[in-house]
Structure 1
Amino acid sequence: MVSLLMIGIAAWGKWFGLVSSFQVVGGIIAVGVFLFFVAGAGLIGAMKHHQVLLFFYMIVLFMVFIVQFSVSSACLAINREQQDQLLEVGWNNSRSTQRDVEKSLNCCGFRQLEPNRTCDAACFPNHSCLPCAEKIQEHAGEVLRFVGGIGLFFSFTEILGVWLTYHYRNQKDPRANPSAFL
């Protein structure tokens, strides 16, 4: 379910022009497809009572748990100064992202407006634009807390999946011949 949500939301964001970076959308879709295949492997392993497939599913799910737990913890632990540094690096790396943010948040420049630069915001002709840093910081803090909380929730459901897989992996197939060795 998470994988389908990731694929759908990333495609929706690109389709409606909310995200201009194809690399970001492509990365999210790739992670969604990977998680879909992992879930499919677990489902097939459980339906077929395939111990080896369930073992590899358990290992991959545990690695996904470690990565997701680490990223979620980092999202919740990042402080305001670190957010400012990361936002400024991201701002300076992509001119298209700058234009998108300026247009959607109605602001110009990161910390101040450069005098010889144009801006796509509606407030630019009136010279009433505020810098984007504070507006971005406000939204980034909310998003980091939200993503961190949701990520922690799903990471603990993944560790529950690992435990259930470990616990039920060695059960015999009820449809199999009872006199068979395995």
Structure 2
Amino acid sequence: MVCGGFTCSKNALCSLNVVYMLVGLLLIGVAAWGKGYGLVSSIHIIGGVIAVGVFLLLISIVGLIGAIHHHQVMLFFYMVILFIVFLFQFGVSCSCLAMNRGQQEALLNSTWRILENKTKNDLETQLNCCGLLNVTGSRVQFEQDLQSCPALCTKNSGSCLACGEMMLNHATEALKILGGVGLFFSFTEILGVWLAVRYRNQKDPRANPSAFL
């Protein structure tokens, strides 16, 4: 059977979904590891990462079962959901790659405001910094964060760098990596959609030997 036939499409789709299953399990494992070692204490962050991992795991299971049994309905829902995920992930990845410093600051400000105090304290302790940004418009909030900051720099030197400044120093590189990885996986998703459409429209020669005669 040449590549591009029924068996090749089936094996390629199964292999792709096995990779998605491994990625989903990896996300769940990393979230559990981070929670277990106290790296992240926010239940919202942990829950979000686990939810993404579980969602990816369920979608890959649907695709794998649909590919093994050549199930038309499961393959249809699989390719529709995967295409929606592709559109969302492609847009987010392009946004990450195109984001400038001003937009990064606005995103950090909005994220910092909705973080729990426990999560802020964990970040400040691990990064040895205090507050978000010591700039005009955020200075009052920075002074308030400095008073309750648990970082060692407040005890040793009395002056601490702002966490936002430390994050922004590496934000551009991190966003490029995040956008590049997301863009790469988005193209694997559109590959999955194409394989599902192709495989769904092919006939199983074992179920109907005369189909190709």
Q: Normalised by the size of structure 2, how large is the TM-score? A: 0.77
How far 1:179 moved relative to its partner?
6.5
Q: What residue in structure 1 maps to residue 124 of structure 2?
A: 102
Q: Which amino acid aligns with 1:18?
A: L
Residues in 1 aligned to 2:33 and 2:120: alpha-carbon distance in whole angstroms: 21
Number of positions where the alignment pairs a residue of Structure 1 with one of Structure 2: 180
Q: Find the counterpart in structure 2 of residue 122 from structure 1.
A: 152
1:27 aligns with 2:48: yes
Q: Which has the higher helix share?
A: 2
* One-letter identity of the residue aligned with 1:117: Q
Runs of 4+ deviating beyond 4 Å: none
Aligned amino acid, residue 120 of structure 1 = P
Shift of the 139–20 alpha-carbon distance from structure 1 to 2, 3 Å rule, reads: farther
Calculate percent identity across the aligned residue pairs: 59
**2:191 is aligned with 1:138:** no
| SS, match of residue 124 in structure 1 | helix
Displacement, 1:33?
Answer: 0.9
CA-CA distance at 1:121 after TM superposition: 0.9
Shift in CA distance, 170/93, structure 1 to aligned 2, threshold 3 Å: closer
Shift of 1:149: 0.8
> Is the contact made by 1:107 and 1:129 (CA closer than 8 Å) also made in structure 2?
yes
Report the Cα offset of residue 173 of structure 1: 2.3
* Whole-angstrom CA distance in 1 between matches of 2:38 and 2:60: 30
- Matched residues in 2 for 1:106 and 1:121: separation? 5
* Range 74-83 or range 91-100, more displaced: 91-100
Give the gaps of 5 or more residues in structure 1: none
Decide which moves more: 41-50 or 102-111.
102-111
Within 5 A, what are the aligned runs for 1:73-112?
73-94=94-115, 95-112=117-134
Which range moved further: 138-147 or 107-116? 107-116
Q: Deviations over 1:98-122 (max 9, x none)?
A: 2122111111222335277132111
Q: Secondary structure at the match of 1:172?
A: coil
The SS at the match of 2:153 is: coil
**CA offset digits 1:108-166 (Å, max 9, x no partner):** 22233527713211110131322222102123333322211111001001101111111
Structure 2 letter corresponding to 1:93: I
Structure 2 Cα separation of the partners of residues 18 and 140 of structure 1: 20
RMSD (Å) for aligned C-alpha atoms: 2.0
